[in-house]
Amino acid sequence: MQIADVTMFQIIKRELATLEEELLRAVSSPVPLLQEMGTHLVRSGGKRLRPALYLLAARSGPAFKESRMMPLAVAIEIIHMASLVHDDVIDSADTRRGSPTANARWGNQAAILGGDFLFAQAFTLVSGRDYGEEIAVRLAELVRELSTGEILQDSSLYQAGLSEASYYERIEKKTAHFLALCSEMGALVAQAPEAVARGLYKYGHAIGMAFQLTDDLLDITGDAAKLGKPAGNDIRQGVVTLPVLRALAQSPDRAELTAIVTDEAMTDAMVERALSIVRASDGVAYAQAKADEYLAQAKAALPEPLPEAVRRAFIKAADYIGRRDF
């Protein structure tokens, strides 16, 4: 499912259609392997949430013009794509969104280099477009925080003693900062007033936190068919999320849960048991309440001087993130 099909993004429906064409153009290469891999990645889909937020934010400024906005929208999605390609190598993942991953199809070597190529291609797309230094600074920072977030996650695998603060730091770097910068950059490129850019940064940050919390919740409560991956995937890979952290602190079965989540050789049955323990605890409700809190924060952060249609779309986007089940 793509964001373009979701009603709140009607306002940028045409731009999202252009985005798909431009993505295919951006991954084209005279090197057959790169062309094939890029096309496969674009065609495998994705929600396009990041460029959608950017384009929506761009509707808040007076200088909105599709042709001007587009290269950065494409770059944003390509950076996201590149980071997923590297994540899938790291996690030895075979499928994503029901399609084979780049590493499954072309091997780790090609996927590592293909990811590097995509990162570079994203920077190529925005260079020479007169977006100005403030965009260049943010785009580089975005990739830096993204990889830092993944490093933080990878250095805390299979650990039961993590603090909630370290969980929030990790999801902030991994997700919230990215969404915050997408919203802010839209406002900046469209020359919206500074207060609008600031407010949209906060909005993006808060929905980013909610988005990752929801993602982590779905790993506990979600439907494997809709998710395109089995529930309990995070637990199996040693990624300890908020519902699990809460259960580790509160559940009567916390000793058993600790033994499972710290066991790098855990079996499917152990993952199932861990899921039952977390589901029986207040971990799900606790994380859900946090996500709701962030969504309320997001709505409150929306800046005053925003076109009404854009404001409504941002509010619907927050609601959509709160109730998504995939």
**Residue ranges that bind a second copy, judged by CB under 8 A:** 29, 31, 33-34, 83, 86, 89-90, 108-110, 112-117, 119-121, 123-124, 127-130, 133-134, 136-137, 139-144, 146-148, 150-152, 154-155
Cβ-based nearer residue to a second copy, 114 or 232: 114
Tell the smallest beta-carbon distance from residue 36 to a second copy (Å): 11
Tell the smallest beta-carbon distance from residue 33 to a second copy (Å): 5
Tell the smallest beta-carbon distance from residue 279 to a second copy (Å): 29
Cβ-based nearer residue to a second copy, 121 or 214: 121
Strand partners, 96: 99
**Which of 138, 179, 165, 145 has the alpha carbon at shortest distance from 290?**
165
Cα gap 157→21, rounded to integer Å: 38
Cα gap 194→262, rounded to integer Å: 46
Cβ-based nearer residue to a second copy, 129 or 299: 129
Tell the smallest beta-carbon distance from residue 104 to a second copy (Å): 16
Tell the smallest beta-carbon distance from residue 91 to a second copy (Å): 9
Amino acid making up residue 51 = P
**Which of 37, 62, 38, 66 has the alpha carbon at shortest distance from 51?**
66
Task: Identify the three-state secondary structure at position 6.
Answer: coil
Cβ-based nearer residue to a second copy, 162 or 296: 162
Cα gap 193→170, rounded to integer Å: 31
For the chain, the C-alpha Rg in angstroms (whole number) is 20
Q: How many CB atoms lie within 10 A of CB 53?
A: 32
Cβ-based nearer residue to a second copy, 119 or 201: 119
